[in-house]
Amino acid sequence: MVTDTSRHQTVSARIADGVAARVLVDYDGATPPYELLEALRRQGWLPLRHLAPPAAAIDWSRPDPSQRSGYAIRPYPVRTQGTFEGTDAQRALAIRRAQATIDDLVGSGAGGRRRLGITVTAPVAALARPIVAAHCTILEEWAHRSPRQASYRGQVAAAEKAVHTFLVQVSARLEVELLGALAHWEPEVADAATVRRPPPPVRDNRPAGPPVTVQVEVRAQLRDEVVRHLDTMAEVQSASTTGRTIRASYRGVRTEQRHEMITLVVAVPATIDLAELERDLTGLGANAVRRTAPTPAPVSPAGGPAPRRRTW
């Protein structure tokens, strides 16, 4: 079943959803749509190769200065295809993303593309990312803190919240649908020209001590989101996987659930407030943030550091 057809100049792309999901791209071999093919390959549609031109398409009588070659390529038809392998849910999402990519790059509405900055709160960033990717192209994304005003019992104070911003390029046809899918999270939407990635926090001139080592325990399915947030401020040194059994009892019926947990060992700069970091990670779904006690250095009986032993 053909689910989408988009045409622009010499390119025609369509998606067929049958026993196996396929994307077919027809184009003029003299001007291959490299951007479209590469974008679809990154989404898992393989192989989508651009084959070498046949001998009849090579014009040896005139060189091509743009390609720095002694021949030119005559127009010739090319059809390439790629298939997507995965579960039904993965295939449905891949088809939706491919439709958005085709419409964005070579569709009839390609000239009406807009660049937007979409900001959501950090805890829902992992849920919003596949929805955003299914409707448009994510150009850049970053986690940061946004200033806001908090009120309590009539008093207003300045505060900050952890947020995540997606810089996207979306077609006019899918913009309304995208914002509607994100509406229940109340995102902040602005034109890309007004969105600026905040600079890294300025470090003060106070002498900073050694990094503080902490352990962050998180469920396996939330690992990528927590690591992405930590990479903006700290260094993830190692990760280990453990299993945890959670027992519950309800009306005399006892149940056990096995969860895969990831323990991250993180080196946090001494200039970062650990209490603030723990609040951010808890909002992202981390179960525990524990500070690891430093290993004491060996001390000689005289009170100074232990002398190094000679090995010769």
What percent of the chain has a predicted confidence (pLDDT) above 90? 10
Q: What is the pLDDT of residue 165?
A: 94
**Encoded tokens for 99:** 């439709």
What are 177-225's pLDDT values in tens digits?
Answer: 888 889 888 899 998 888 888 876 655 555 567 888 888 888 888 888 8
Q: What is the pLDDT of residue 9?
A: 45
0.85 surpassed by pTM: no
Q: Is the pLDDT of residue 4 over 70?
A: no
pLDDT band at 3 (very low <50, low <70, confident <90, very high): very low
Q: Checking DSSP bridges between strand 46-47 and strand 72-73, what pairing results, if any? A: unpaired
- Is the CA virtual torsion 97, 121, 149, 273 positive or negative? negative
What percent of the chain has a predicted confidence (pLDDT) above 70? 80
Tokens 């453990």, located at residue: 242
- Mean pLDDT of all residues in 3-11: 45
The CA distances from residue 31 to 35, 129, 149, 151, in Å, are 11, 33, 53, 59
